[in-house]
Chains A and B, each alone.
Chain A
Amino acid sequence: MKKLFGILLLMVMALVIAACSSDSSSDGGEDADASDGGDSGESAESGGGGEGTVEIFSWWTGAGEEDGLLALIDLFEQEHPDITVDNAAVAGGAGTNAKAVLATRMQGDDPPSTFQVHGGAELNEGWVAADKMEPLNDFYEEQGWMDKFPQDLIDMVSKDGNIYSVPVNIHRGNVVFYNKQVFEDNGLEVPTSYDEFIEVADQLQDAGVTPLALGDKEAWTATQIFENILLGELGPDDYKSLWAGDIPFDDDRVVAAAEKFKTILGYVNEDHASRNWQDAAQLVGDGEAAMINMGDWAKGYFSNDLDLETNKDFGYFAFPETDGDFMVITDTFGLPKGVENPDEVKEFLSVLGSKEGQDAFNPLKGSIPARVDADESKYDEYGKDAMADFNESNLTPSLAHGSAAAEGFVTKANQAVNIFVTQLDVDNLINTLKNAASEL
């Protein structure tokens, strides 16, 4: 017994020493150990973000998105072999974990060199309002980017005339994906108006198919439907005014949108609360459900993961009554204040915002470039379509993804929608939104 204790004690000491030494020598020893364990891919040298290192903070760790990010990093390292890149990605919860880590680090005055943030309120009402970001106007001028990004998009990353981040990609939120076979079997046409949508949904229901798949384990998927109905009801200009606080939430059209939302929720799969959006999309892939409203990252899921063919197995159309509008979800990267080596970070941002950078990243990520002059030939059928729409449509910010309103409001709106999906109480939803409006 005594011997055992002695051994235990020895082990403790050995390991404490090992842990401490690997800490004090910062990287050397520990890194060697770590990379012995297997090929660590792109693993960079330092944890911090000191001189000669750019730490890129994102929540891109999954298939596709990580490939895109790595391609972008490769491109950067080719151009700047002297700068190392530290890919600090935190996965999970569609970015919630990453946001927690980021917030903790920012509050603790340890900002990463640059970090992923959705354009719009999440950036402007969040980090910019907190005075944590450097303006990038001169940088944009230097790079000659002022006419390379759509003005609507530049507005989304600007506050009070200053530009604060560089958009790298664009996703569209007001897309409905549908199972072509199911539509064909039932002799249905793509609905363009709300009434047509309901008609189609009724026919599907009679045929025993779930009309609309929903997976609202996370509330934003339901909020996404609501915001698209709002966009259709209000039109792009008034939709933006709503989030600016210029139109009250008890406006007749908002109430009408809530009523429509309630009607549409009558057509979703019964087990919606148990599914995430992928599980719901699977219902469409299998033909158990006919349609799903989802951001166009779902396209990547359909074609890569479910092996379905675009425009053959599944098709897509703009959410009813929002044709000509483009609900923008854009990932952007900015320059936090207090970073040690802002020049090197700007080098990275310049690659990120370049035509080559965007064309390296986006085809892999399954998004379209934020620039207007990207090389169309690198994108698939859906991508080309989306790029054309992006250039011609009214760009509107998404509430569900934090672009339309401050995070505080989004959180409350998601809660209100979560309650609404069960209770279907229009008055309650409108009241809650009205009370939360002070957060706008």
Chain B
Amino acid sequence: MATFNVWKTIKYLILIVMAVLFLTPVYVILVTSLKPLDEVSLANMWALPSAIDFSSYSHAFSELAPNFMNSVYLVIPATLLSALLGAMNGYVLSKWKFKGSELIFTVILFGMFIPYQSILIPLIQFLRNIELYNSIAGLVLTHVVYGLPITTLMFRNFYANIPDTMLEAAKIDGANFLGIFRHIIIPLSITGFVVVAIWQFTNIWNEFLFAVTITNSDSQPVMVALQNLSGSQIVQWNVQMAGALLAALPTLLVYILLGKYFVRGLLAGSVKG
């Protein structure tokens, strides 16, 4: 018993030390965001502010608010669509393999690795041709397409863990392709959806390069507005940090809300099969 407790203490100790290390950057962000600009400096980064000053928050909020809804319109459809398409692909590629399906998987997966900076120019020309340039819809499409490889990969691996026997049983009961997808696969995929949604949501929310090149002024997402808080030559770090925290709130919220669901879905035992 005694040794068991020692082990437990050690485990806690490791976790606590790691947690503290993981939280130090947040401390710095938080402290900086509450300081007036003349107190912000590299040398004083650990110091608490002499007085708590929320002005950088109000400043950041007024700058970010107009672009906030753009990000919402962007990130929700893009996340759900790419997750849905990913689930469809993953289902086919893991459970309905056909001749050449591995090749198709390879072809899709490879898309994950293209460096986005290199395809900006043809991307914009293409979006202009289909009249989606400078619109949220165009940005949604872009994120859906470039999100496909990873969502497909995730769902494919996820579905590989669902025993084929379950599908066979359903087939014997007369379920067809779509029936199995709707009634067996989807209900079993909630955890998969949560992981993929978290991933896509944060990636799309935080993405800057596409956002800044595909949209102009009024349709720009919040990350562009966040960048625009800094100037070309002078950066007000307190406002920047306050803005970063404000802009990260939705993603943090997603983690807190879905993190719970994550566990519950797992405990429901759907994966254990």
Contacts and interface: CB of A to CB of B under 8 A. Distances in A.
Contact of B216 (A30, A48, A107): A48
A44 B235 CA distance: 25
A367 B186 CA distance: 61
A105 B232 contact: no
Interface residues of A, number: 73
Interface in A181-239: none
Contacts, number: 178
A37 B232 contact: no
B124 A108 contact: yes
Nearest to A97: B212
Contacts of B132: 23
Given A63-B236, A107-B121, A91 B230 contact: yes
A305 B73 contact: no
A20 B137 contact: yes
B173 interface: no
A247 interface: no
B66 A35 contact: yes
Interface string A325-345: 000000000000000000000
A91 B136 CA distance: 20
Interface in B230-264: 230-236
Contacts of A45: 218
Interface in B55-114: 61-62, 65-70, 73-74, 76-77, 80-81, 84
Contacts of B234: 62-65, 278, 297, 300-301, 305
Given A18-B73, A19-B74, A279-B42, A65 B231 contact: yes
B228 A91 contact: yes
Given A62-B231, A62-B233, A282-B41, A90 B212 contact: yes
Given A15-B77, A22-B136, A34-B66, A47 B218 contact: yes
Given A101-B212, A105-B124, A30 B219 contact: yes
B26 interface: no
Nearest to A5: B186
A100 interface: yes
B218 A34 contact: yes
Nearest to A171: B233
B232 A60 contact: yes
B260 to A, nearest CB: 14
B125 A108 contact: yes
A90 B69 contact: no
B228 A89 contact: yes
Interface string A1-27: 110110011011001101110110001
B37 interface: yes
B15 interface: no
Interface in B1-55: 37-38, 41-43
B140 interface: yes
A5 B193 CA distance: 10
Chain B interface main SS type: helix
A408 interface: no
A23 B136 contact: yes
A87 B220 CA distance: 13
A41 B227 CA distance: 17
B62 A38 contact: yes
A88 B233 contact: no
B119 to A, nearest CB: 11
A47 B217 contact: yes
Contacts of A300: 234
B66 A37 contact: yes
B81 A90 contact: no
A40 interface: yes
A48 B131 CA distance: 12
Interface in A414-434: none
B133 interface: yes
Contacts of A381: none
Contact of A61 (B42, B67, B186, B230): B230
B109 to A, nearest CB: 24
A333 B217 CA distance: 19
Interface in B185-220: 186-187, 190, 193, 212-213, 215-219
B166 interface: no
B157 interface: no
B229 interface: yes
B235 A278 contact: yes
A301 B183 CA distance: 63
A110 interface: yes
B171 interface: no
A388 interface: no
B80 A23 contact: no
Q: Which of A15, A16, A41, A90 has the most CB of B within 10 A?
A: A15
A277 B234 CA distance: 9
A2 to B, nearest CB: 6
Contacts of B217: 43-44, 47, 55, 86-88
Given A44-B218, A300-B234, 4 more contacts: A18-B73, A30-B219, A62-B235, A97-B227
30 contacts: A1-B187, A4-B190, A8-B193, A12-B81, A19-B136, A23-B137, A30-B70, A36-B69, A37-B66, A39-B62, A59-B232, A60-B232, A62-B235, A63-B231, A63-B234, A65-B231, A65-B233, A65-B234, A87-B217, A90-B224, A92-B227, A92-B230, A92-B232, A98-B232, A101-B213, A107-B121, A275-B42, A278-B235, A279-B41, A297-B234
Interface of A: 1-2, 4-5, 8-9, 11-12, 15-16, 18-20, 22-23, 27, 30-31, 33-41, 43-48, 55, 59-66, 86-92, 94-95, 97-98, 100-101, 104-105, 107-108, 110, 275, 277-279, 282, 286, 295, 297, 300-301, 305-307
Closest 10 A-B residue pairs measured CB to CB? A62-B231, A38-B65, A40-B66, A37-B65, A1-B187, A23-B135, A12-B80, A61-B228, A15-B77, A108-B124
